[in-house]
């Protein structure tokens, strides 16, 4: 059933609008003064309404996925062996890897017998899904904390091996590196573990 329309009775101050306008302006000024005085304070300008970026920055989530890093091992050697698993797993097809054989005398620079001669990620196509990190059998690639990805030219959006190594060194220096990922069990190993558990259950049942 339709509700009857009730005509609202406006008071005199409501009818002339002036009081409501002054009330609205008062609220605006109250917030302006509050934010302005807070922004004059020393230290992080965490005023109620906005953060003064880039001076003030919020803490990044530990699971944030930003610009990629190419990792080094404890001896400072490149972990990547150029296998291309990351490129195969990438849904955006934005990784290009060229594998090279480690030359004699260069063993101290690389952890494996092969290495990535070229490694490039097209950040214009990357969707930051993290599949490359999950697919890497050597734990050589990770998505870091870099989120300032605005560039002037498309060429600058090509993340090279050198840039990724530099990202790793910078995040290590700042102490913001993520802990290494736990290895994901492969299908064969998972089946083996399930079979073992089943065998153990059957043994218990017989007893």
Is 71 one of the binding residues for ligand SF4 (CB under 6 A)?
A: no
Site for ligand SF4 in 164-203 (CB under 6 A): none
Q: Is 102 in the site for ligand SF4 (CB under 6 A)?
A: no
Q: Supply 116's token pair.
A: 């990535």
Q: Is the distance from CB of 159 to CB of 68 less than 8 angstroms?
A: yes
| Main-chain phi, psi angles of 47, to 5 degrees | -70, 160
Question: How many C-beta atoms lie closer than 10 Å to residue 191's C-beta?
Answer: 11
State yes or no: residue 126 binds ligand SF4 (CB under 6 A): yes
Least Å from the CB of residue 97 to ligand SF4: 5
Residue 72 as a binder of ligand SF4 (CB under 6 A): the answer is no
Query: Cβ closer to ligand SF4: 47 or 89?
Result: 89
Cβ-defined contacts of 132-137 (< 8 Å, 24+) = 132/68, 132/86, 132/87, 132/89, 132/90, 132/95, 133/86, 133/181, 134/89, 134/181, 134/184, 135/85, 135/86, 135/88, 135/89, 136/80, 136/85, 136/86, 137/83, 137/85
The least distance separating ligand SF4 from the CB of residue 135, rounded to whole angstroms, comes to: 6
- Interface residue with ligand SF4 among 72, 102, 116, 164 (CB under 6 A) is 116
Choice between 35 and 114, CB closer to ligand SF4: 114
The verdict on 83 binding ligand SF4 (CB under 6 A) reads yes
Half-sphere exposure of 78 (CA within 13 A, CB side): 24
Binding ligand SF4 (rule: CB under 6 A), the pick from 67, 69, 72, 90 is: 90
Q: Which of 69, 72, 102, 121 binds ligand SF4 (CB under 6 A)?
A: 121
Ramachandran region of residue 130, left (φ > 0), alpha (ψ -120 to 50) or beta? left
**Encoding tokens for residue 178?**
């993520």
Q: Which of residues 128-167 bind ligand SF4 (CB under 6 A)?
A: 128-132, 135-136, 138, 140-141
Interface contacts to ligand SF4, rule CB under 6 A: 80-86, 89-92, 94-95, 97, 116, 121, 126-132, 135-136, 138, 140-141
């Amino acid at each position: 059933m339709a509700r009857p329309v009730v005509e609202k009775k406006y008071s005199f101050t409501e009818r002339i609008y002036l009081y409501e306008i002054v009330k609205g302006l008062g609220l605006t000024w109250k917030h302006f003064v509050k934010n302005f005085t807070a922004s004059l304070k020393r230290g992080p300008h965490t005023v109620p309404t906005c953060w003064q970026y880039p001076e003030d920055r919020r803490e990044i989530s530990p699971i944030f996925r930003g610009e990629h890093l190419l990792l080094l091992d404890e001896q400072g050697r490149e972990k990547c062996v150029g296998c291309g698993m990351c490129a195969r797993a990438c849904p955006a097809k934005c990784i290009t890897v060229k594998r090279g054989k480690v030359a004699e005398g260069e063993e101290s620079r690389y952890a494996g017998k092969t290495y990535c001669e070229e490694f490039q990620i097209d950040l214009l196509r990357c969707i930051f899904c993290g599949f490359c990190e999950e697919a890497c059998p050597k734990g050589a690639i990770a998505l870091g904390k870099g989120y300032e990805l605005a560039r002037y030219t498309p060429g600058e959006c090509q993340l090279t091996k050198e840039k990724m190594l530099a990202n790793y060194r910078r995040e290590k220096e700042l102490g913001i590196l993520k802990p290494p990922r736990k290895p994901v069990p492969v299908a064969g190993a998972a089946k083996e573990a399930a079979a073992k558990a089943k065998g153990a259950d059957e043994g218990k049942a017989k007893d």
